[in-house]
Amino acid sequence: MLRLVERLSGLLSLLAAQVAVVILVSVTALILTEIVLRSFFATSTNIVEEYVAYGLGTMVFLGLGQAMRSGSLVRVDIVLGKLGPASRRCVEITACVAALIVMSFVLYYLSIRIGRDFSRGTISMTKAATKMWIPNAIVATGMAIFMLQVLVYGIGLCFGRRLIRDEGAID
């Protein structure tokens, strides 16, 4: 059962990372379009700052799950590197539990905000008039995928699976 959940979380993380790449390409194209418009046509899209900010936020959260899975997250190894395998496993499990608690709290309140923004029809105060629930929902999706990766990693540690090492991946 754990293998199935690992595979599912891996696929979700990979898909989210691929969506983040598409967003990166889109943001880059938007910035280049803005540069061309301002440089050669003395006009602007008037949305570039807003959408680059949304893009950055969504890319970060959509990429977290895959970064966790591949062992690419920045980790402070000053303490962990000095611990033995059993102690390190205990600290890693504790860190997973703490991360899940904090992220659950954040995701819960973000979900409330998404629901309110959706029901009230909240839009951004810019010319783009973006429906605010959309970027927040993408961020929440990335958070949920990251939480799933942390959960899978933590459960795997409890069952003796290998630790994330400096060289990377969980698999």
- Tokens read off for 87: 């102690």
Look up residue 40 and give its amino acid.
F
The pLDDT score that the predictor gives to residue 166 is: 46
Q: Which whole number is the average pLDDT over 17-41?
A: 97
* Residue 6: domain span: 2-158
The pLDDT score that the predictor gives to residue 26 is: 97
Residue 164 lies in a domain: no
* 61-81 pLDDT per residue, tens: 999 999 998 888 877 677 777
73: helix, strand or coil: coil
Number of structural domains in the chain: 1
Residue 169 lies in a domain: no
Residue 166 lies in a domain: no
User: CA 10 to CA 69: how far, in whole Å?
Assistant: 7
Residue 165 lies in a domain: no
165: pLDDT strictly greater than 70 = no
* 93-136 pLDDT per residue, tens: 999 999 999 999 999 999 999 999 999 999 999 999 999 999 99
- Tokens read off for 35: 């540069």
